[in-house]
Amino acid sequence: MRHITFRLKGGQLLKEEIELQAKNIPAGVLLSVVGALENVNLRMAGATPDRQDIRNLEGPFEIVSGIGTVSSSGCHLHLSVSDKEGRVLGGHLKEGCRVGVTVEVVIGVLEGTTYRRTLDEDTGFKELETQT
């Protein structure tokens, strides 16, 4: 496994920048994401294509964990953040999360594997398929 490490600066968009880096990655995993966000947009658990509870919250927030799969076929990312009081909220990472001071991201690239995202009729979402 090799890795890609990059730093985002204030005002950049977290998910969009991760997806930009993933454009040339056949299969990868988000190993680490740490830093601060000005706002966070998260989809809560229990979503269906027709019913999604998306929370758009103003910060500041600290990223306390992030995980997911990345590929040129799409990314599936989850994020947990804490507010000024230390309360933690997490969910499926959506677009539009602005970086505060900085965010550091490490992606592990899996050699010899390809991830594809195809529509799953049962869930209604594009789901992960692997090829080795």
Q: Where along the chain do its domains lie?
A: 2-44+55-115
pLDDT at 18: 98
Q: How far out from the chain centre does Cα 32 lie? A: 11
Single-letter amino acid, residue 12? Q
Residue 56 phi, psi dihedral angles, 5° rounding: -115, 105
Given pLDDT bands bounded at 50, 70 and 90, which one contains residue 49? confident
pLDDT at 26: 97
CATH topology of domain 2-44+55-115: 60s Ribosomal Protein L30; Chain: A; (3.30.1330)
Render pLDDT for 67-101 as a digit per residue (tens, 0 to 9): 999 999 999 999 999 999 999 999 999 999 999 99
Cα separation of the two ends of the chain? 14
Break the chain down into helix, strand, coil percent, rounded to 5.
5, 60, 30
